[in-house]
Chain A
Amino acid sequence: MPCSIKTKDKLPMREVNGDGAMPNRAPSRREVFSRWHTCRPSAPPREDWIRISHSAMACTFDAIVSPECEPGIGAAQEYLRSVDRLESILSVFRAESEVSMLNRSAAEHPVWVGPELFALLQCCERLHRETDGAFDVTSGALTRCWGFENRSPALPSPEALKAARGSSGFRHVTLHPDGAVSFRSAGLRINFGSIGKGYALDQGAATMRARGVTTALLSAANSSAFALGSGPGGAGWRVGLRHPVFKNQRFATLLLRSCALGTSGQEEQGFEIDGQRYGHILDPRSGFPARGVLSATVLAGSAAQSDALATAFFVGGMPLAERYCAAHPGIVAVMLLEDDLSRPIVVGSSNHVEVNLGNI
């Protein structure tokens, strides 16, 4: 998704009309400051914006808008409605969803899917290719085999794992030019868990923009966000990265302008056997939970891309992150590795992101 840097939000100035009629809104603190003081404060003053929250896709979707932005709540409602609609298409937990129908029938015969699902599958195929297979939405059989799909994880038997690996992989999927999809493996299961939320945020950001909202923060599950515009005071949206081990600390603070964020980690979902922790993010190539990375955050122009890449970098580690960011300017990754819990690593750079490391 193309994105551009917005110039600093113009402050609404005093709105006394020529005829002396009063405006119907009081000034914000920022406006009062701008009139009283010859130099602006270095940080924008605190203000209260409105958070609109809604449960969907087994998590909470949020939008934060300014109360001064008149279409804000209406636009957020429309965005949340679109999330509900996308859930009915993309969820593997709904038997009647388009993706569930695809998973049931595409191994038997080509299934014609709607343009949204087809476009998302094309996007997934591209990201799969670009990440050398580290990102793969076709590993639903593996997720099911490890019990993460129904939230009762357990160590699978070698036979079950072998079977699941055999029926996973984008190589088994054919996207036909006429909009049909077919699987070459009977057990293949597509699961959009690692990209669906981001895709919904991208659609939401487009909806908000179309309704005239210039700045808002959309987020899902605390792990995906789309920073629309430059945030309060034009300074950017300040987002912290929570340390996956020392959970009351953040290991970096980001300032985002017109860009999306995706974070992958295993601290919220996983299980332990004999002191060995098994996280829910599986390496589609080995069939086992990914190791080596504690937290992978990616900043990109679209939330679908940042979500997918966060998972891919979590799986592929630093080599993949460095290779990908070098080949794709504008993508930024903030990685925290198991080797060094106190030293996050920033890969890549972008005009849309400022990264400050440390517990700020």
Chain B
Amino acid sequence: MRKFGRRHFLKAVGGVSALAAFGATVAFEGPRRRGPVRVALIGAGAQGEVLCNSLDPFVAQLAAVCDIRPSTKATAEQQQGVKWYQDWRQMLNDGSIEAVMIATPLCTHAEIAAGCLDAGKHVFCETGIAQDAAGCERLIAAAQRSGRILHIGYQHYYEPLYWAAFNNIMRQNLLGDVFAIEACCPTSHSERVPVNPDDAGFDPRPWGYASLDQLMNWRLYRRYSAGPMGEWGGRVISLINWFLGGPPTAVQATGGIYTYKDDRDVNDHVFVTLEYPYSRTTTLSLIPSNGFVQPYMQIMGKKGTLILSEGESLLFMEDQDNSTQLSTAPVGGTQSIMDASASRRAEGANHSTLAQGAVAGQAGNTAAFQNEIVAFCGSIRAGAPLRGSLSDARNVTLGCLAIDKAIERQTRVMTQLHAKMDRHALFDQDERQTAYARS
């Protein structure tokens, strides 16, 4: 799967268990108070697998898996203590389950999330919040009604490098006035996945999917998804909104189905210009390219430029000849942060470490998912605040809808979102969550 900030995720998860990442000492001590949060996964596809692999047994325990595909049953039940349900509604009766993680097609988010909230479950819902504005409002209302936590999974809030870019660079105004951001999220293949042979006899039509192929490739059909802009571009827009302190005021866009004429009805080319308050303009490109082009974002200020990329993140300052490289460094645990040796020249790997060294390079995305789930569980247990509010998530969805409209009408579209913007309330939490934390 190819997502902004997630390219190597599965590979990374294969290499380091959550237990190892946490430190064995910690895990063996076990919880003393209310224990790990019992969670159910709804939607055991690729994204669901990512979430499951990011569960830390110390903070969250998988209790159930819900998926309409019977092929997922055996895999789920292989794990001790995990029940399988074809219909997520059956899972709601299990009172021991405190929270759900939803990784289903977007078209089902509003219904499932609202149902779970009403049943008293806390909800971690993968991006985005819903397919349309009404769905967003319905879900937010359900969260407010239920008194439970609804968190929309935008992992970049929990990616240490992005957090540092926001907290230590943008918020400290290191780049000076930022007037332009360029973001590029290229695709190198069609995104179409084959049907799992184990599902061959399964008829998904009673569940609302026209065919098994459409179920597996739901992102390529408007009926189930928000297209590439909603699914992948939304993450980038969420990041830009975060850095610039609010949603765009207007958008212009072009796009179409130009490369992959394979029955899909969502655009495979999209190029967007987003206008933000205070004369700031950003561009976002989702255009098929090649595997060498890494997704990147270039934030250009009057005093410096920050390039955030999966390959290498760089900071260029006006008053410095050489660039500065930014990366994550795993600290804590029992691992050495560096292994000192005789002086090495610049071309040598300065920060290599022994033995666990391979882990160092894997920190990024794995950490983001793990951190986010820890924060979600921390919010359930201790009322800890979460990054990214429901209104932020709604603004992303509404921004993506405006982009669709701009492409369709070939015109500049005002988002009408700026009225809600507050530059200084970057983490304006939803009232419901605040009330929950108070209680």
Q: Which A residues are within 8 Å of any B CB, using their own CB?
A: 14, 16, 20-27, 29-33, 35-39, 41-56, 58-60, 62, 64-65, 67-74, 76-77, 80-81, 84, 197, 217, 219, 221-225, 231-233, 235, 237-242, 244, 247-250, 253, 261, 263-269, 295, 297, 360
**With A41-B25, A48-B328, A59-B346 given, can you name 16 additional A-B contacts, CB distance below 8 Å?**
A20-B435, A22-B427, A23-B385, A37-B32, A43-B25, A45-B333, A48-B160, A50-B161, A52-B326, A58-B346, A60-B344, A68-B167, A232-B331, A238-B336, A240-B353, A253-B336
Query: Do B167 and A70 touch (CB < 8 A)?
Result: yes
Q: Across the interface, do A53 and B351 meet the contact criterion of CB distance under 8 Å?
A: yes
**Would you call B382 and A14 a contact (CB within 8 A)?**
yes
Q: How many angstroms between the C-alpha atoms of A221 and B350 in the bound complex?
A: 6
Q: Which 5 A-B pairs have the closest CB atoms?
A: A265-B342, A60-B350, A240-B336, A48-B160, A67-B164
Interface size on B, residues (CB 8 A): 83
Q: Is the CB of A238 within 8 A of B334?
A: yes
Tell me the minimal C-beta distance from B276 to chain A in angstroms. 20
Most chain B CB within 10 A, of A51, A74, A268, is at A51
Q: Is B401 interfacial (CB 8 A cutoff)?
A: no
Query: Is B330 located at the chain interface by the 8 A CB criterion?
Result: yes
> Which residues on B sit within 8 Å (CB–CB) of A38?
32-33
Chain B residues closer than 8 Å to A237, beta-carbon distance = 337
Chain B residues near A24 (CB-CB < 8 A) = 385, 426-427
Residues of A within 8 A of B172 (CB): 70-71, 73-74
Question: Does B254 interact with chain A (Cβ within 8 Å)?
Answer: no
Determine whether the beta carbon of A73 is less than 8 Å from that of B164. yes
- Asked whether B101 is an interface residue with its Cβ less than 8 Å from the other chain, the reply is no
**What are 12 residue pairs bridging A and B, where the CB atoms are less than 8 Å apart in the complex?**
A20-B435, A31-B378, A33-B26, A46-B330, A58-B346, A81-B317, A221-B345, A240-B336, A240-B340, A244-B342, A263-B342, A265-B342
**Interchain CB contact under 8 A, B341 and A72:** no
B198 at the interface (CB under 8 A from A): no
- Residue of B with least CB distance to A270: B342
> Is the beta-carbon distance between A241 and B340 smaller than 8 angstroms?
yes
The CA-CA distance from A49 to B333 in the complex, in Å, is: 13
List B320-339 residues whose CB lies under 8 Å from chain A. 320-339
Q: Give the CA-CA distance A210 to B111 in the complex, in Å.
A: 53
Q: Is B221 an interface residue (CB 8 A)?
A: no
Q: Are A27 and B167 closer than 8 Å at their CB atoms?
A: no
Given contacts A55-B322, A68-B167, A225-B338, contact A44 B329 (CB under 8 A): no
A43–B23 alpha-carbon span in the complex (Å): 8
**How far does the alpha carbon of A20 sit from the alpha carbon of B168 in the complex, in Å?**
25
Inter-chain CA distance A90–B87, complex, in Å, is 71
B83 on the interface (CB 8 Å rule)? no
Whether, in the assembled complex, B429 has its beta carbon less than 8 Å from a beta carbon of chain A, the answer is yes
Q: Is B169 an interface residue (CB 8 A)?
A: yes
Compute how far the CA of A235 lies from the CA of B333 in the bound complex, rounded to whole angstroms. 10
CA distance A77 to B371 in the complex (A): 27
Contact of B325 with A81 in the complex, beta carbons under 8 Å: no
- 0/1 per residue, B335-375, Cβ < 8 Å to A? 11111111111101011111100000001100100010011
How far is it, in angstroms, between the C-alpha of A81 and the C-alpha of B171 when the chains are bound? Answer: 21
Give the residues in chain A near B346, CB-CB below 8 Å. Answer: 55, 58-60
B145-182, CB under 8 A of A: which get 1 and which 0? 00000000000011011011001110110100000000
Cα distance, A53 to B323, chains bound together (Å): 9
Contact of A37 among B31, B321, B338 (CB under 8 A): B31
Q: A23-B385, A44-B332, A73-B168 are in contact. Are A295 and B319 (CB under 8 A)?
A: no
Given contacts A39-B32, A64-B329, A239 and B354 within 8 Å (CB-CB) = no
A65 to B433, CA, bound (A): 31
Complex CA distance for A110 and B431, rounded to whole angstroms: 73
Contact status of A26 and B385, CB under 8 A, knowing A54-B322, A223-B340, A244-B341? yes
Decide: A223 and B341 in contact? CB cutoff 8 A: yes
Which of B21, B324, B327 lies in contact with A46, CB distance below 8 A? B21
Known contacts A70-B171, A223-B344; A53 and B325 CB within 8 A of each other: yes
CB of B22 within 8 Å of the partner chain: yes
If A74-B174, A240-B340 touch, whether A52 touches B324 (CB-CB below 8 Å) is yes
A58 touches B384 (CB 8 A): no
Is B320 a contact of A49 with CB atoms below 8 Å? no
Cβ–Cβ < 8 Å partners of B345 in chain A? 58-59, 221, 268
Q: Is A64 a contact of B26 with CB atoms below 8 Å?
A: no
A231 to B336, CA, bound (A): 12
Q: Is the CB of B160 within 8 A of A32?
A: no
Q: Does B262 contact A (CB under 8 A)?
A: no
With A32-B374, A41-B26, A70-B172 known to touch, is A26 a contact of B341 (CB < 8 Å)? Answer: no
Binary contact track B196-213/A, C-beta < 8 Å → 1, others 0:
000000000000000000
- Residue in B34, B322, B341 whose CB lies within 8 Å of A242: B341
Complex alpha-carbon distance, A51 and B336, angstroms: 14
Residue of B nearest to A44 (CB): B332
Q: Find chain A residues with CB under 8 A from B23 CB.
A: 41, 43, 45-46
A255: nearest residue on chain B (CB-CB)? Answer: B336
Contact partner of A268 (CB less than 8 A), chosen from B174, B325, B342, is B342
Least CB distance from A29 to B in Å reads: 6
Contact across chains for B321 and A84 when beta carbons are under 8 A apart: yes
Contact residues in A for B353 (Cβ distance below 8 Å): 240
Q: Which of A53, A233, A239, A249 contacts B337 (CB 8 A)?
A: A239
* Complex contacts, A71 vs chain B, CB 8 Å: 168, 172
CB contacts (< 8 Å) of B169 on chain A: these are: 73-74
Asked if A48 and B167 sit within 8 Å, CB to CB, the answer is no
Residue among B59, B168, B328 facing the most chain A CB atoms (10 A cut-off): B168
**Any A CB within 8 A of the CB of B414:** no
Question: Taking A41-B25, A50-B160, A238-B335 as contacts, is the C-beta distance between A35 and B330 under 8 angstroms?
Answer: no
Count chain A CB atoms within 10 A of each CB in B25, B33, B317, B332 and give the residue with the most: B332
Q: Which residues of A contact B71 (CB under 8 A)?
A: none
Whether B387 sits at the interface, judged by CB under 8 Å, is yes
Bound Cα distance from A240 to B353, whole angstroms:
8
Given contacts A239-B340, A297-B340, contact A27 B384 (CB under 8 A): yes
